[in-house]
Structure 1
């Protein structure tokens, strides 16, 4: 019975990892591949605002909005891909990068005084990334405990 629960949990974690990874691949690709003029202009306008409240601006660094958009796009795309299909070590690293990106997104949106509904996707993604990380740590701890007792 415990084996089935463990297998079910592993399947749920796999599905969550693949879905989150796929989501970030798509959002990253959207930042990199502007398919139509209105969306492209809207994305540029957003990153102009984002650059204005960039956290390191306090220390005199403000990114070029286009470079900022491209960098975030590549980070989301690559980290999402590694989260979905990478080795366990690469999954952990990508989870860390995506967690930091979502914390930055929440900071940015809060700095711009955006509504809670605008912040909700980043908050949900951050929560799911943390949940995935906690579950993976618990699964590894359980595995280590079983190895210790055997």
Structure 2
């Protein structure tokens, strides 16, 4: 519950910040970052390098929408959002490593990835419990019916 709300809110805000020119210096700084990010884009190996502004906009929308779905979406969309954000954080860590950034620069992305994975495990455990509970209810009934025949 709380972790999902925290992460959903965080990513929604992070995405919104990438989409809106809040303050000029911060906006310029973010543009400069995405120029660097585009330089080490993983698909560059295959000849695809995104336009930095489009890249920033795409990441912004992805974070905003996935964050909102994580926050208020139905369970299936929450799981899909979690997966998308997990992949996004893996990409962020890859990008920062490719740029040879300091560990302190990578920490926010690593922490977010860790929390998303923790949330993933929590969701999986929740589903497993439901499956185990529902299968337990069925087994005794089936067993009992086979004796009554």
Assess same fold via TM > 0.5.
yes
1:36 Cα deviation (Å)?
1.5
Distance in 2 (alpha carbons) for counterparts of 1:63 and 1:90: 27
Distance in 1 (alpha carbons) for counterparts of 2:68 and 2:134: 31
Partner residue in 2 for 1:110: 97
Among 58, 62, 75, the residue aligned to 2:49: 62
Runs of 4+ in 1 over 2 A off after TM superposition: none
Q: Does 1:53 align with 2:53?
A: no
1:76 Cα deviation (Å)?
0.1
The superposition leaves residues 61-115 of structure 1 with CA deviations (integer Å, 9 ceiling, x where unpaired) of 0000000000000000000000011000000110011001000000000000001
Partner residue in 1 for 2:146: none
1:58 Cα deviation (Å)?
0.1
Partner residue in 2 for 1:91: 78
Q: TM-score, normalised by structure 2?
A: 0.91
Distance in 1 (alpha carbons) for counterparts of 2:123 and 2:60: 26
Among 9, 20, 43, the residue aligned to 1:33: 20
Among 94, 114, 119, the residue aligned to 1:127: 114
Distance in 1 (alpha carbons) for counterparts of 2:112 and 2:21: 23
- Alignment: residue pair count: 137
1:37 Cα deviation (Å)?
1.2
Distance in 1 (alpha carbons) for counterparts of 2:27 and 2:73: 30
Distance in 1 (alpha carbons) for counterparts of 2:88 and 2:52: 16
* Higher radius of gyration, 1 or 2: 2
Residue ranges of structure 1 left out of the alignment (5+ in a row): 1-13
Q: Does 1:72 align with 2:59?
A: yes
Alpha-carbon RMSD: 0.5
